[in-house]
Amino acid sequence: MKIAISGKGGVGKTLLASLLAKTFAESGYSVLAIDADPDSNLAATLGFPDSDKITPISEMKELVEERTGARPGRAESFFKLNPKVDDLPEKYSLKHNGIRLMAMGRVKKGGTGCYCPENALLQALVTHLLLARDEVVILDMEAGIEHLGRATAKAVDKLIVVVEPGRRSVETAYKIDKLAKDIGLHNLAIVGNKLRNPLEREFLISNLPGFEFLGFIPYDQALVDADLANLPLLNSSQQIINEVKNIYQALLPIAQTPNPRN
């Protein structure tokens, strides 16, 4: 099963990715979590020790050069568009509590250089992880689907868009839906997050007509307090855990369908 998670910044993509990874792992699935959002820290939320010391793939300059033939940061280089990546998951992933993690990193765009070699490597790696691996793969993305393309769209069993009660995150959901349809990805579903009252739930349902809703996660001050006190987030709110378990249950029928690509 391959699950991609997107949505506006700050809506809670990483929390949902982490709790889903944990739930699948505790149920006996082999789980690969991919951090493809440079504005978050999936490793920290999953409780990986020394999560701030993990070097993401995009910053491994020697590796990028070895595989693509081009040194990152040099403008107008020629490089391989299909670098070898199948050995990278074993070499450059970490494991903790039964969850394997890979950090993709930020693709730098600044300066005068043209930083495409990292892009080529990350693109090839994500394609490999989605097409060739048979774990439960959970991809925590930015507010877009930049890591996906026509080649990987069919492999994504569910693209979950997280929204919160607010017009901007709903607008982002529509943008993501359009980008997804452009590449032939139609398995999109919504998860509402940070809900404070039934009116906010109603707001999401009425502003996203025709969308499948996988679940609604409540706002819980206990999570904020745990964060400020630097306590582990994943165990801080039983009501959030319960709701993510419902979302997991809703996803299970997909997981149990024989994989048409095998």
53 or 109, CB closer to its own copies?
A: 109
227 binds its own copies per the rule CB under 8 A: yes
HEC sequence for 126-190: HHHHHHHCCCEEEEECCCCCCCCCHHHHCCCCEEEEEECCCHHHHHHHHHHHHHHHHCCCCCEEE
78 binds its own copies per the rule CB under 8 A: yes
- The full length of the chain comes to 262
What contacts 110, CB < 8 A, 6 or more positions away? none
Sites for its own copies among residues 156-175 (CB under 8 A): 165-168, 171-172
100 binds its own copies per the rule CB under 8 A: no
Sites for its own copies among residues 101-160 (CB under 8 A): 106-112, 114, 116, 119-120, 123, 142-150
Q: What is the dihedral of CA 148, 171, 136, 157, to 10 degrees?
A: -70
CA distance 11 to 215: 14
CA distance 138 to 33: 5
69 binds its own copies per the rule CB under 8 A: no
CB of 262 to its own copies, least distance (A): 25
Q: 18, 23, 40, 68: which one contacts its own copies (CB under 8 A)?
A: 40
198 binds its own copies per the rule CB under 8 A: no
Which residue ranges make up the site for its own copies (CB under 8 A)? 8-11, 14, 38-41, 44, 52, 75-76, 78, 81, 106-112, 114, 116, 119-120, 123, 142-150, 165-168, 171-172, 183, 199-200, 203, 224, 227-228, 230
